[in-house]
Structure formats: C-alpha cells, structure tokens
Structure 1
Amino acid sequence: MNVIAALLEQRTGQQIAANRAWRIETALKTVLRAHGMQSADQLVAQLTGTRSGALADAVVDALLNNETSFFRDAGVLELVVEAVAALVEEQPGRRVRIWSAGCSTGQEPYSLAMLFEEAYVARGLPFPEIVATDVSAATIERARSGRYSQFEIQRGLPIRRMMTWFDQDGTEWVVRPELARRIQFRRQNLAQDPAPPGKFDLILCRNVLFYFPPALRTRAYATLRSATRDGGALLLGAGETVIGQTDAFVPCSRFRGLYRADPPPPVPRAAGLG
C-alpha cells in the first residue's frame, strides 16, 4: 500500500495517516472491479514504474476525499454572503471575486451561486465572479456538468431551491444554465500549481489543507495569500485554523471564522474585512 499512498501524495500533496490506511483498500474496490483485477497487489504491480496514465488517475480520484453536500455548514456560507455584502458597501458597484478551492463535485460553489442569486440579483447588486477548482479532472467535469443523483440532490438542498435551480432528467437533477453560467470551473492542484489568475477578495478552502504535511501546508498558504487581495479573507473548514500555521492570515475581528489577509508593513492596510 505504500506505493499507492506515495502516488496520492506525489500527485495531490495529501497524506493518508497510518491509522487510516484501511481507506486505501476500501476506496480501491471500484477501481479493481473496473480494471478486472483481483487484488490490491495486482494493482500495485501495474502501477510500479509509472505514476501517470488512466489507471493512476483512477486510483488518485478514488482516494480523494470528495465528501461534500449542498449548503454544507449553511451558516458559514451565509457568513460569506454577508462579508461580500460588506465589501460591496465599501466600494459600491465593485464586482467581488471568490475562489472555491477544492470544490469537489461543485456543491459548494453552486450553493454560493444560489445564495447570491437570491440576495443580490433582485437588489441590482453586481454578482460576484466565482472561480471553482479541484485537483481531479474527473471531479471538475462532474461539477461542470451540474448533474446530481437523487441522493446528492437531497443532501442539504431545500425543495424550494431544488425546484428553482434544477431540472429533472430521468433519475438525475441538472443545474439550470442560468446558474451554471455563474461559475468558472477549472482544474488546479493546490499542492503544485499557481493560483488562478488575478486577486480574490475571498477564498474558500475548506477541509483541504488538513490532509497536507506541514511543509506543503505552508507552501499552500503562501499560494492562497498570493491570490488574496490585501484586506481580503480566507475561509477554512470547521476544524482548521491559521493560528500556529502561517502569518499570512490573521483572525478577522468583524466576521468570526474568516481569516484576513493584511498587507505587509509598512504599506497602510487597504479597506477590507477588518
């Protein structure tokens, strides 16, 4: 299993702790069936000598933790909308930029888009630019397609929003074009790639850095900071914090749970989420 764990870390930066090694065997059952293999040893033999190709891609995708749902931690997403509204109030007419890093199959950015449609469009406020990224090409394609099973659509999505923003297609539900066009989906590896172009006012990176080893986590924070405008903010997962991890972000006094990107001294701090 060491070969498989090393492949995951090499490709994504994520580590599987020794006490969670059971995840490898469980996660790979589908891959073994799809490729007609009988055991993980047979899979390792096929992977030995190569860390690329369709089989390696399938293994990495199977091991990634794509646990997500619509409106996951709904109060946190509402906080994001409130924080963005504060930025718009400070600079009326300005279009805010948001990056959903590690977006998995898209439920997080689609949830944000629904909230902004409901809170902003009717009031004539500029809709934020939303960029959503994930390390997995297959996952990004799923997110871009906006297709969800009955099980996925029922996880966290109220019926009213389901009927407003999705159309049923057989056993699946598909995001309506007017919502889908609000999000730019891109493949991006936070462990290796530069951030998407431009500066963002707010970055959501929930439950991604948790799986990174310390040195890589430090580099990832640097990437996130390079993509955050001075005075912008970072949102992490509920069990994550920047405290003791990086000096690039500090707790935001105005919006609890967000971490503010202060400009480096001696440049005066820009208006933002203070």
Structure 2
Amino acid sequence: MTAAVRPRIPAPAPADLAPVTAATLEEAYAANRANAGLAARMAAGHGDRRRAAADRALAAPSRRLLAFDGRGAGRAAEVFGDLAHADRVAVLVPGSDTSLDTYGRFRTAAAALHRALTRQAPAGTGTAVIAWLGYTTPATVSTTAITPDRADEAAPDLREFVRGLRGITGPDSRLTLLCHSYGSVVCGRAADGLDVDDLVLLGSPGTGADSAADLRTRARVWAARGGGDWVAEVPHTDVDLFGTTVGFGTDPVSPAFGARVFSAGDGGHSDYFRPGSACLANLARIVLGETSEVTHA
C-alpha cells in the first residue's frame, strides 16, 4: 500500500525584511506575525485546520517572531524575553519530527528554559531564548534521520542566523546553542567558525565528528544524555554505503569524544527541558555562564 501524501499547503512567501537590528526588532516581529496570520487564512481556505490553528497561534499579538515561513513543513524563530537587551542568549535547535504542525512541544521547551533563566539569573542580567525551527527536520522513522543530508542543508542557515543574531545583541552578549537529538548533527555540521560561546549536545546520536576538537569550534562543548533516553541504544558509528554516510560517529557523552559531560538525570529523550529537572537547572547554569555550578554525570 502506498502511503498517502499530504497535499501541499498554500502559504505566502516570508516577509521581505532588511537585516534586523535591535532598533527594528518590534517591526520584524509585527511583520512576521502578519505573515503568519495570512498563512493561517490560506491554510484554512485550503481546509487544513491543523496548520491553520498552528499559524493562527503564531500570529497572536504576544508572539515575538524573528522569522516565519509557512511554506512546506514550515519554519519559524520565536523569541522569549527581551532580545535587544539580553546579556545571555540561548538558541534551541530541534531534532526529528519538528514542524509548524508539531511546534507546540518545541515552544514548550523554549519557554521552560526561559522561565528557568529568569529564576536563576543574577539581578540585572537580561536573558532571552530563541526557538529556532530553521530547517526541514527528518522524520524519526526514515532514512533521512540516519544520514547527515538534512543537517548539511541546515548548517549554512544556522550559521547565517547566528551572524544575524550577533547584529542584534552585539558582540558582548553570551550565546549558547542547545542542540537536541538530530539537531546536534545540525550543530556539528555548522560548528566550524560559528560565533557561539557554548555548544550543548542533548540526547545526541552523534555529530558526525570523531571528537569535540574535530568540530573546530572555539565554543566549550557540553554533552548530556538522560538515563531513560532510547538514543543510548543507537549504534555510534558511521559507514559509507554507496556514497552515502549512514550514522554519526562517536558518542558525544563518551570519554573518547572529549565533551564536558553533565548530569541530565533519569529522563527520557523528550525530557531535557522538563520543569524542575536536574537537566534544566544545569542548562540554565551553562547559559548563564555559571559553569562551576553545573553538576556532572
């Protein structure tokens, strides 16, 4: 039996914006909300209630959209906090099966981290979190989830996003990249020359690199895996099959990789940002630069 193919959902092209600065952030947010609203109306007219609801939620007046593209699986970058005045900024890069249709769970993780940062930040320290759905993620049960192809496509976009982010926050803000599951493959591919201070690999199947040093990044490289995460059972190897690389190499939490391994508790693959968890507390410490307070596995 042939699987049903979902009809293409009509959506407008992204808003045509000049490079965003701290002074034009609110204008960018408004333009992207308007674009999301138009995308919702087009999806509703097409009969896709699920996408229409997702787009409509993103168009709400309270949402801070740094980017939005309703075409295909969809892309978005949503800000939590005051980005223009943030001293500490975290960017979340999602793994498989994340799209505008499933965006709610990704947003929940970003919001949980921002609440933790707000609680733990020293007085006078501004924080912001960005949920970066900036690439077409693979399906968990698919051949694309075991090859680096989607990550190779995403890496240039992540580099460009970080460059643009530095134009908003300035060079003195501390920037942390938090990369979950297949998102860690994206971060591994983008790491060389990426202007970030900390690179965190969560529930990673590997990065495609043999070691943290091979990522060629100036950032401190961290890694964690929950005690109940199924990714521990994934073979950490990479092989060439007819010109295609399958697998992602060395386990990032292994001593051979050389990352700073920290405690993620006993949670599963989707629990790294669970409120009240040891992992979330450690992530907030890393973002805030309180590295001596991070608990280790």
Verify same fold: TM over 0.5: no
Which one has the largest radius of gyration? 1
> Highest relative contact order (Cα 8 Å, sep 6+), 1 or 2?
1
Larger helix proportion of the pair? 1
Task: Output the TM-score relative to the length of structure 1.
Answer: 0.29
